[in-house]
Amino acid sequence: MNNGSRETLADVRLPRIVVPPHPYRPELPAAEKAALKERIATMLRQQNAVLVAHYYTDGDLQDLAEATGGCVADSLEMARFAAAHPAQTLVVAGVRFMGETSKILNPEKRVLMPAVEATCSLDEGCPIELFNGFCDLHPDHTVVVYANTSAEVKARSHWVVTSGIALAVIRHLAEKGEKILWGPDQHLGRYVQRLTGVEMILWPASCVVHEEFKAEGLMRMRARHPQAAVLVHPESPAEVVAQADVVGSTTALIQAVRDLPNQEFIVATDAGIFNKMRQLAPAKVLLGAPIAGEGATCESCARCPWMEMNTLEQLARVLATGEGEIQVAPELAARARIPIQRMLDFAATVKK
């Protein structure tokens, strides 16, 4: 295998990603918030609905999901949970590709989203029109895309992967002699290349949250907290990943806080993850990895602004009105389901 890498083509010009401002929302009085949660719980029961929330959403939504029999998870486990749950309505608190994935895997169910307009910089940075042309230039390559993509991009691919299973899938394909075209997250792609030695052609998108973490600032924070374990999501830049004690998916980072003996952790991923970490390890000290320093723009400030569009108020509104329903054309869903199911079937064979 070649340890080099064929980088993205020079003529790929990504669209400009418009990052929405972080919304300002005053904290609801405790009594009002409790009443709103109870109203939502009642509507969920009345509509035979279940709430599934991503780790990066607001802590109130995460807590409500678990309190009402739903789940808090990464995008893959959200879809798996939804497929196994008997509820006929799935309410997905997250970003649009998560709602689409749930609909693709559960075509017979109604899928609602509190913020149907919430997108993802990786999804936005990989429009199907450009990606089709990129793939057409390499017809002999197996197309592997990260879960953070539209239904159209998934349908164009051969495999869909999450960060937790990407290494195993790429090693499997390389053993079969397949050439890889990877999209859309370039940082995760380079991380996979470094660990597998597999040459891949990379699409040049990145996540606005993880792009903000700064290597120099992290070095200084590590010096101030020498006993802290550094936890990094592989969507982060290579210079940040190189300083990590644990590199992994959201689920893997949560497990590290629970299982490692360290009392302090420096965490380089969306700060929404702290809600679950604090539940599982309330005595541990959690520190956000630095985003300040030279070159910082603070477009994300370690919180995904699209995830922040999900609120209790929005959740109550869609349950009351039926707005925010996700639709995926049946023919498109059928094509997108193939690479997703391929991943799920492969994951079932991988030893935990």
* pLDDT surpassing 80 at residue 89: yes
What are the backbone dihedrals phi and psi of residue 230, each rounded to the nearest 5 degrees, phi first?
Answer: -100, 120
Q: What is the pLDDT of residues 38-54, one digit of tens each?
A: 999 999 999 999 999 99
pTM of the shown model: 0.91
| pLDDT (mean) for 63-71 | 97
* pLDDT surpassing 60 at residue 290: yes
Q: What is the DSSP string of 188-246?
A: HHHHHHHHH---EEE--B--TTGGG--HHHHHHHHHH-TTPEEEE-TTS-HHHHTT-SE
Helix H or strand E encompassing 268: strand 264-268
Lowest mean pLDDT across 94-98, 126-130, 347-351 = 347-351
* pLDDT surpassing 50 at residue 300: no
CA–CA dist 299, 210 (Å, integer): 11
Q: Residue 301 to residues 20, 213, 232, 271, 315: CA-CA distances in angstroms?
A: 12, 9, 16, 9, 24
* pLDDT surpassing 80 at residue 328: yes
* Residue 348: predicted pLDDT: 87
Quickly state the pLDDT bin for 302 (edges 50, 70, 90): confident
* Residue 80: predicted pLDDT: 83
Q: Quote the mean pLDDT of the chain.
A: 92
* Residue 3: predicted pLDDT: 40
Quickly state the pLDDT bin for 161 (edges 50, 70, 90): very high
* pLDDT surpassing 70 at residue 293: no
* Residue 2: predicted pLDDT: 40
| pLDDT (mean) for 277-288 | 96
> Among all chains, which residue has been given the structure tokens 């749930």?
102
| pLDDT (mean) for 263-276 | 96
Q: What is the DSSP string of 2-68?
A: --S-B---TT--PPPP-PPPPPP-PPPPHHHHHHHHHHHHHHHHHTTEEEEEETTS-HHHHHHHHHT
* Residue 295: predicted pLDDT: 46
* pLDDT surpassing 60 at residue 297: no
Q: What is the pLDDT of residues 19-30, one digit of tens each?
A: 887 777 888 999
* Residue 292: predicted pLDDT: 64
CA–CA dist 331, 323 (Å, integer): 23
Quickly state the pLDDT bin for 11 (edges 50, 70, 90): low
Q: What tokens appear for 163 in the block?
A: 């960060």
* Residue 204: predicted pLDDT: 93
Quickly state the pLDDT bin for 351 (edges 50, 70, 90): low
| pLDDT (mean) for 302-326 | 95
* pLDDT surpassing 90 at residue 188: yes
The percent of residues in the chain predicted with pLDDT above 90, rounded, is 83
* pLDDT surpassing 50 at residue 294: no
| pLDDT (mean) for 96-107 | 94
Q: What is the pLDDT of residues 131-140, one digit of tens each?
A: 999 999 999 9
